[in-house]
Structure 1
Amino acid sequence: MLTVERKSLIQKVLQRDGRLVAKAFSQELGISEDTIRRDLRELAAEGLLQRVHGGALPASAAEADFASRQATATSAKSSLGLAAARLIASGQIVFLDGGTSNIQLARQIPRDLRATVITHSPSIAVELVEHPSIDVEMIGGRLFKHSIVTVGSTSAEAIARIRADIFFMGVTGMHPETGATTGDAEEASIKRLIARQSGETVVIATKEKLGAASPYQIVPLSEITTLVTERRDDAEQLRPFKSSTVTVVETDH
């Protein structure tokens, strides 16, 4: 089998099964495991999969620049944002992460809901300027332009002094094996800290994020309270999440 044929087959297996075990795949094809591992390294370098111990997972398609993400799946994100906004109770302290899905959430918060929103995202803060009943507190720090959120020691020190009732966390990948992941180590660290300071952690995931993985783990699946995602025709994709401790909220759009 030619290299290009093997790589094509690897991507088809990942799309079909959501994971690939290098040893089993090499035995199935009757070629060396080293050959498969080399293929996986090269595909990972092209951003076409995410390598993990023993094999690979599908790469997240949600790591494009902010402007591109804003123009993607806007209808789905609006529906997800509405479902997520319904999880906020009056009087709560809410930490809203950055990202295009959370911008939709901010837009969907009922006008009569009274709450405090803490955010390290200037984009989220601007969305809530006209909301009459939401108090907004901003976390400072160095601006991470990919997600338009602040990161670094200044952010971490401020977050460590906060206790939030609920955290709406942005991710680029959600997979049963790797949990919530993102593409930057420092951003992952900040998200992990916010989750530790919050009573509940909610993830909003459009369909391209579900079953995919990015290089840096934020938290494992066991540390996520609720997953808000799109309803699937194929129920198998959601089964691993539903069989865990996560509450799954599905939306139509």
Structure 2
Amino acid sequence: MLKKERQALILREVNIHNKVILSDLSQKLQVSEDTVRRDIQELDEAEKLVKVRGGALSKSYQVYSYKEHDIYAYQEKTIIARKAITYLRDDMLVLISGGSTNLELARILPPDLKVTFLTVSLTTAMQLMEHPSSETLFVGGHLSKTAQIAIGGEVVQTLNEFRPDICFLGVNGIDAQEGLSENDWEVAAVKKTMIRVSKKVLALSIAEKLNSVQKIKVCEMNQIDTLITELNPEHEKLTPYRNSGVEVV
């Protein structure tokens, strides 16, 4: 595989999943980790992604200088965010994970909405803090540099103290048969807890992530109440998800 093709695949992976891990890319591309590391270094220098230890992040994660052109599939994520907002009501306790779709949701909230947000994502919390009518609770802990959320036993223990009305869950891998999956077991543990404590769980996913499976299982598909994508709910790509009993929006 030529370097140009390899780097294009790396960019596609990081944009779809927001983050990539060196070892996973090495296996997928069938090249050494050193080769992947050099590719990521070049892409970072070209300002196409953000290099971090052990992998890379999408530029979508640079919340401090929010730019629409840095958000991969921006229009699709905005459609998803607008659909998700229709589920919010005043006085709710809303649990929200990380990811660029949830970040967009936080950015376009109606200004008069009065809810309390609970989040494990520092970037999402920073965006929510700008909302004039809602409160934000940040569940702190050890911050994952790749997922950019708080992870660890303290986070799980704290989440167990809450009973959110609704949970907006960012998705890494999602498949009608295999359910939701992650590439980091600590992130998976946090998401499992978020699903367990919430009364209603909405998975937010761009269509490009559908039918993708990561190495660590988060939950079965039937543990999710609603799947929100940018597609028309009747789109044929969503048929397996509708057949699994999940509400598709």
In the other structure, the counterpart of 2:18 is none
CA distance in 1, matches of 2:181, 2:85: 22
Cα deviation code 1:87-145 (max 9, x no counterpart):
11111100010111100111122111110000011111111122111110010110011
Q: Provide structure 1 residue ranges, at least 5 long, that are not aligned to the other structure.
A: 1-41, 49-62
The whole-number CA distance in structure 1 between the counterparts of 2:231 and 2:81 is 14
| Equivalent-residue separation in structure 2 for 1:214 and 1:64 (angstroms) | 17
1:81 matched to which residue of 2? 81
Instruction: Report the Cα distance in structure 2 between the residues aligned to 1:192 and 1:179, rounded to whole angstroms.
Output: 12
2: CA distance between counterparts of 1:68 and 1:103?
A: 9
> d(CA) in 2 for partners of 1:234 and 1:111?
31
Structure 1 position 174, deviation (Å): 1.1
CA contact (8 A) 1:66 1:147 kept: no
Aligned 1:157-168 pairs, distance under 5 A: 157-168=157-168
Distance 1:202 1:43, change over 3 A: same
Residues 154-190 of structure 1 deviation map (CA, whole Å, 9 limit, x = unaligned): 1111111111011111111110111111111110011
Secondary structure of the residue aligned to 1:174 is: strand
**Secondary structure in structure 1 of the residue aligned to 2:245:** coil
Q: Does residue 45 in structure 1 map to residue 37 in structure 2? A: no
CA distance in 1, matches of 2:25, 2:135: 46
Aligned residue in 2 for 1:129: 129
Aligned AA (2:248): V
The one-letter code of the counterpart of 2:78 is S
Q: 1:69-101, CA deviations, whole angstroms, 9 ceiling, x for partnerless residues?
A: 753111111111111111111111000101111
Q: What SS is found at the alignment partner of 1:118?
A: strand
* Mean CA deviation greater in 138-147 or 68-77: 68-77
| Structure 1 residue 233: Cα displacement | 11
Shift of 1:68: 5.6
- Structure 2 gaps of 5+ residues are 1-23, 31-54, 62-69
Q: What residue in structure 1 maps to residue 209 of structure 2?
A: 209
State yes or no: 1:174 paired with 2:174. Answer: yes
- SS of 1:81's partner is helix
| Other structure's SS at 1:186 match | helix
Deviation of the 1:215 alpha carbon: 1.0
Q: Check whether the contact 1:121–1:138 (CA below 8 A) recurs between aligned residues.
A: yes
- Structure number with the higher strand fraction is 1
Q: Which residue of 1 aligns with 2:119?
A: 119
In structure 2, how many angstroms separate the alpha carbons of the residues matched to 1:216 and 1:167? 20
- SS class of match (1:46): helix
| Structure 1 position 232, deviation (Å) | 5.9
Residues 77 and 230, structure 2, Cα contact 8 Å, conserved in 1: no
Q: Does 1:225 align with 2:225?
A: yes
**Aligned pair 1:71/2:71, yes or no?**
yes
Find the counterpart in structure 2 of residue 5 from structure 1.
Answer: none
Q: 1:233 & 1:191 partners in 2: Cα distance?
A: 25
Structure 1's 234 and 198: CA in aligned 2 closer, same or farther, altered over 3 A?
A: closer
1:106 & 1:96 partners in 2: Cα distance?
Answer: 9
Quick one: structure 1 residues 154 and 88, their matched pair in 2 at CA, closer, same or farther if it must change by over 3 Å?
Answer: same
Q: Match of 1:230, SS?
A: coil
Aligned residues: 194
Q: Which residue in the other structure is 2:188 paired with?
A: 188
More helix by share: 2
CA distance in 2, matches of 1:233, 1:134: 30
CA distance in 1, matches of 2:26, 2:247: 31
Output one character per residue of 1:169-215: Cα deviation in whole Å (capped at 9) or x when no partner.
11111101111111111100110011100001101110111111111
User: What amino acid maps onto 1:218 in structure 2?
Assistant: V
